[in-house]
Structure 1
């Protein structure tokens, strides 16, 4: 990666499954919001030149966070979907960094990503991009429409996609400007363009806060990271 690296963080969703009354990135974990935890980790990783956050124009909470005014943080308008929010952030990265820019897309609701994992992602990335992921350890079943098992899937080559996901900005922008039906992450958009991003094994504590029971688990993992110094 020769060009500048921008972290793009989509944060325009409302997190309905948390049933919290506010977007989940503003819930607190150990005295700080999830947004402050997540952005704090990205900002502490020196190879990242700038962090671009895509937020809703109707969001009254984001401007109140001190991190929103950080000199390395900029804000762009979020979209109706995650893909649109990411594309808006990537567009800003291209404006700021030019055609050689790279973007590292990370979920705001993943506050426990380890800096060592981000480093591994950057070191192992090639021209097609790379994502953090976890090999599946559970037995995977394929069901029919009647919810009976059709088959057992060979899990040897099955991975769970995580974030960050790292790509050349121009290539990701092009991929996100195509048909996005069924696209659930940045890698799947790249795949539709014929790309084969690299899988980089990450840590299992890089969880995404999605439902209420995820917060106690995040508290446990955060405390363990502090104890071991493995943030």
Structure 2
């Protein structure tokens, strides 16, 4: 039976946050942003392994000694791009995974994932021929601007979705997609699409937002504190 493995690319610098430390290590409700996602994956017994992909000079995890039976694995496999980091990590994992095992790639700065939402994704895709991702149908009107930041045209939002993570594909398929992609894919799904396949969209949640700007972190803090106090 195919198992489920998590990859969390955590080698990025998060420059848009304009902070001295990478955004995945910023404090959120008393612990680093990335720790919230790790805790969610630990809380789901269906997950066989959690693989944290770090830069070679990562300062945060170097002093951590993991129990030999821990489901958390540290890989110093950070590349120049997210796609290269994931591909490097797949290579590091190869001895311990099967070709048809599921790989779920989750953003390090997306701490709002819940066990319920994770199980929803696993249930929706574990028998799928391709795999897929969490995503949200777009609700807002989209405008395309010109060089002067003036509206050039309105883009119909029918059929448009905002991609989230985890994105979930079989080991061999994801490795093939990333290794053979011409250029740098924006996410794993785009690499799979380039093979002529159609990943399935599974409805996500606003809570599963990505921390990109300082106001995102503040909003997530408010949401989590409200849940703790309720």
Q: Identify whether the pair has TM-score above 0.5, normalized to the shorter chain.
A: yes
Question: How far apart, CA to CA, are the structure 2 residues paired with 1:30 and 1:3?
Answer: 35
Contact persistence 1:14–1:24 (CA under 8 A): yes
Question: How far apart, CA to CA, are the structure 2 residues paired with 1:149 and 1:24?
Answer: 32
Residues 1:186 and 2:188 are matched in the alignment: yes
Q: Tell me the equivalent position of 2:27.
A: 28
Question: How far apart, CA to CA, are the structure 1 residues paired with 2:53 and 2:71?
Answer: 14
Q: RMSD in angstroms over aligned alpha carbons?
A: 2.0
Number of equivalenced pairs: 227
Contact persistence 1:87–1:176 (CA under 8 A): yes
Superposition deviation, residue 42 in structure 1: 1.2
Question: How far apart, CA to CA, are the structure 1 residues paired with 2:33 and 2:229?
Answer: 20
Contact persistence 1:68–1:74 (CA under 8 A): no
Residues 1:170 and 2:172 are matched in the alignment: yes
Gaps of 5+ in 1: none
Q: TM-score w.r.t. structure 1 length?
A: 0.91
Superposition deviation, residue 37 in structure 1: 1.2
Contact persistence 2:109–2:212 (CA under 8 A): yes
Question: How far apart, CA to CA, are the structure 2 residues paired with 1:53 and 1:153?
Answer: 38
Superposition deviation, residue 223 in structure 1: 2.1
Helix, strand or coil: the match of 1:121? helix
Deviations 1:46-83 (A, max 9, x none): 11100111101111112245779871111222111100
Q: Tell me the equivalent position of 1:201.
A: 203
Question: How far apart, CA to CA, are the structure 2 residues paired with 1:112 and 1:191?
Answer: 26
Q: TM-score w.r.t. structure 2 length?
A: 0.91
Question: How far apart, CA to CA, are the structure 1 residues paired with 2:17 and 2:39?
Answer: 22
Deviations 1:148-173 (A, max 9, x none): 43432221201000001110011001
Q: Tell me the equivalent position of 2:140.
A: 138
Contact persistence 1:5–1:48 (CA under 8 A): yes
Question: How far apart, CA to CA, are the structure 1 residues paired with 2:67 and 2:80?
Answer: 21
Q: Tell me the equivalent position of 1:56.
A: 55
Q: Tell me the equivalent position of 1:37.
A: 36
Residues 1:87 and 2:74 are matched in the alignment: no
Contact persistence 2:83–2:184 (CA under 8 A): no
Helix, strand or coil: the match of 1:162? strand
